[in-house]
Amino acid sequence: MSPRASTRERILDASLELFNVQGERSVTTNHIAAHLGMSPGNLYYHFRNKQMIIAELFAAYEARVDGFLRRPQARALTVADKTLYLEALLAAMWHYRFLHRDLEHLLAADPRLAKRYRLFAQRSLASAQGIYQGFVEAGVLQMSPAQIETLAINAWIILTSWIHFLCTAAGAASASLSEDMLRRGIYQLLALEDGFVTAAARPQVQVLLDQFQVPLSFD
C-alpha cells in the first residue's frame, strides 16, 4: 500500500468510527483531521468534502452487502446458510450503523448518492427474493411467489429502518447503540418468515430464533 493510499484508508476508518459514535451530523472534516493529528489541508488533499467521504463509505458498505447477499449456485440452501446470511447482515449493519441512522438526511443532501442507493435497494430486493426462493426450493419455507415478493420488501424495510426505530421509538441514543440491540433487529427480520417455516425445518429455525432473541427495552 502506498503512503498515500494508507492516509486515505486512515481517514475513512476514522470517519466511520466518528460517524458511528457521534452521528454524522456532529462530525466535521476538521474533527476528523484533528482526530488523526492531521492538518485540514492534508485531509482535503484526499477528500474535498465530507460528502465524498460518505460516498466512499457507502460504496464499501454496498460492495460488502453485494458480496454476501447472493444465492449460491449449484447447491441447495440449508438452515446453516440462513445463519450465515443473518450474521453477515448483523455485522454489516453494526459496522456501518451511521448509514442506517442518518440515511434520510444523507440522501437528501446528495442526489447522486440517492440514485446509487435506489439501485442498491432494487438489487438487494432482487437478491433477497432469489434467496427466499432458494429456501422454498430447499423445503425450509413454504410460500407463493407473491408472498416472496412481499416478504423481501418487508425484510428490506425492517433491516434498513431498525436503527431508526431504536432511536425514535425505543429512545436509544446514537452513542449508546449496542450490537445486541441490532441483534434484535435480525430477530425481527427472521420473525417475518415465522409463519412460513415448514414442519421439517421448524426445529432448526426455532434454534436460530432463540439465538437472535434479545429482550427489547424502551426508554
93 contacts 182 by C-beta, under 8 angstroms: yes
- Identity of the residue, 47 or 117, whose beta carbon is nearer to its own copies in the bound complex: 117
| DSSP code string of 12-74 | HHHHHHHHHHH-GGG--HHHHHHHTT--HHHHHHH-SSHHHHHHHHHHHHHHHHHHHSSPPTT
- Please tell me whether residue 96 adopts helix, strand or coil conformation: coil
Q: Shortest gap between Cβ of 197 and its own copies (angstroms)?
A: 8
Q: CB under 8 Å to 59, separation ≥6 — which residues?
A: none
Q: Shortest gap between Cβ of 167 and its own copies (angstroms)?
A: 9
- Identity of the residue, 46 or 82, whose beta carbon is nearer to its own copies in the bound complex: 82
- Identity of the residue, 39 or 217, whose beta carbon is nearer to its own copies in the bound complex: 217
CA atoms within 13 A on the CB side of 23: 14
- Identity of the residue, 42 or 150, whose beta carbon is nearer to its own copies in the bound complex: 150
Q: Which residue has the cell 446470511?
A: 85
CA distance 46 to 61: 20
Q: Shortest gap between Cβ of 116 and its own copies (angstroms)?
A: 11
Residues near its own copies, by CB under 8 A = 25, 102-105, 107-108, 114, 117-118, 121-122, 125, 146-147, 150-151, 153-154, 156-158, 160-162, 164-165, 168-171, 187-188, 191-196, 213, 216, 218-219
Q: Shortest gap between Cβ of 139 and its own copies (angstroms)?
A: 16
Q: Shortest gap between Cβ of 107 and its own copies (angstroms)?
A: 6
- Identity of the residue, 43 or 167, whose beta carbon is nearer to its own copies in the bound complex: 167
